[in-house]
Structure 1
Amino acid sequence: MKAFLAALGFLTRVPVPARVFDDVRATRESLVWYPAVGLVVSLVLWLVAWMVHAWPPLIGAALVLGAWVTVTGALHLDGLADSADAWVGGIGDRERTLAIMKDPCSGPAGVVALVLVLLLKFAALASAILVGNAALLLSPMLARAALTLAFLTTPYARANGLGSALQGASRTSCQIALALAAALAVLCGWRGLCGLLVAAMVFVIWRAACVHRLGGFTGDTCGALAELTEAAVLVAVLVAS
């Protein structure tokens, strides 16, 4: 339970007891629970979508998106902006890219990336409210499953970054969590399978880019992975509907 609370407290703004973050083992094993935290985010989005389903879809989509940003604390959006700035400003150089990621200021590339991803999510959510909520289930879950997969398959680029605390999580437990997430997606039928395949494609491209540029990944690039996966899965599931 402590590991789940640590994952919930890190990935969302849901309040949890501060003492769970003092438990090194719980922090490390929290990686197993990332897909489950995605389901918690999905539950929040479902609830908001249900409350506004009779409203004009554009207003409903704006409220669902606002709830999405609020419950996650814009954690991954920050990573997306930093990654976009670093990728453009790094000019192919590893150390320059890592240095730009540590700069708290956002440049034009980061702002454009945020606008484009949020615009895509908003348009997809307007459609999701009209045609069903399977996309709201799959998008947050698969995005956080992708983070677990990143730690299992990709080197960490920084020596002492935030993600270093997650190194050493049980591979077997993480693999079971990923298998359950994939199974849940498949149980959603054709739409779920499309979402799963698109999430896998985004992950493969993201991993190749990170390894080529950085030799691994960082917390910021994980944020970018989560946001890009969410947006891509949303669109894929809705197009398949």
Structure 2
Amino acid sequence: MTNGQWLRQAAAAAWLDLRIALLQFTRFPVPAGEMPPPGRARRGAWAWPVAGLLAGTAGALAYWLAGILGLPPILAALLAVAAMVLATGALHEDGLADFADGIGGGRDRENRLRIMRDSRLGSYGALALVLATLWRIAALAALPPALAIPAILALAAAARWSSALLAHALPPANPDGQSAAAGRPGLPALAAGLVACLLPALLLPGALPVLPLLAALAAAAVTGLLVRRAIGGQTGDALGTAAQGCEILGYGLILSQLP
């Protein structure tokens, strides 16, 4: 195989991974193309933070435009979070709500899984969704404008890496669910995803670049402990919860380091 052929094959494989991640995690218009082979997420999870970064770019643009228009920080933050919700189709927010309903309202493993599969929104889910969204808006509004856009980009990427960490660490709770069909990411994919997280994190000044990564690790660990005890493994809702938890914790950590 020549170098040119190898490069073309590598580029085609990378585009397939990124296209799958964009189809899974965003609502951006992406060509359908060929169907991915079973278990492709095991190799392609490196692209999850890249898809998150692109969704975060939508939020960063909304925040920047709000600043150009002279809107106050609270409205800029609201527009940024709304843009990211639209870019992802509220995928992770929906996962957090279902997760909260299942963990909060379920009596046993089977009951919790049944509630998570139910598309209806319960009290625990509604409260979790409202509190998480308010936290993200308020925390983003409290950041200095010079830090807001780097924080949006860094945490949007790290949040999806947190999901990949959880998918690697725990087996699927449903052997016939979507999470099981996707496969568990391997260490090479996690390492490549870490690189994808580091690039936007380096936009933050001083020692702050490490905080999005710490938030991703902590969110994956806490969510993992909860689901392992409650349902014995991870689900798509748990992966969404880890992503939301990473953003919530990450904004809080960054704010705690400001003078």
TM-score, normalised with respect to structure 1: 0.90
Question: Which residue among 81, 84, 87 is the counterpart of 1:65?
Answer: 81
Structure 1 CA distance for aligned equivalents of residues 38 and 30 of structure 2 = 17
What residue number does 1:7 align with? 21
Contact 2:179 2:235 in 1 (8 A): yes
User: Alignment identity in percent?
Assistant: 32
Which stretches in structure 1 are left out of the alignment for 5+ residues? none
What residue number does 1:96 align with? 111
Query: After alignment, is 139-148 or 159-168 more displaced?
Result: 159-168
Query: After alignment, is 58-67 or 176-185 more displaced?
Result: 176-185
Tell me: CA distance 1:63–1:239, structure 2 relative to 1, closer, same or farther (3 Å): same
Q: How many residue pairs align between the two structures? A: 239
Select the structure that is richer in helix: 1
What residue number does 2:46 align with? 32
Deviation at 1:76, TM superposition (A): 0.7
RMSD: 2.0
Structure 2 CA distance for aligned equivalents of residues 169 and 64 of structure 1 = 30
Deviation at 1:51, TM superposition (A): 1.0
Deviation at 1:231, TM superposition (A): 1.5
Code of the aligned partner of 2:241: A
**Residues 76-225 of structure 1: matches in 2 within 5 Å?**
76-91=92-107, 93-128=108-143, 130-132=145-147, 133-167=149-183, 169-182=185-198, 185=201, 188=204, 189-225=206-242
Mark the structure with the bigger radius of gyration: 2
Code of the aligned partner of 1:113: A
Q: Does 1:234 align with 2:251?
A: yes
Cα deviations across residues 90-110 of structure 1 (Å, max 9, x unaligned)? 13x111111111111111110
SS in 1 for 2:209: helix
Structure 1 CA distance for aligned equivalents of residues 225 and 33 of structure 2 = 37
TM-score, normalised with respect to structure 2: 0.85
Code of the aligned partner of 1:127: A
Which stretches in structure 2 are left out of the alignment for 5+ residues? 1-14
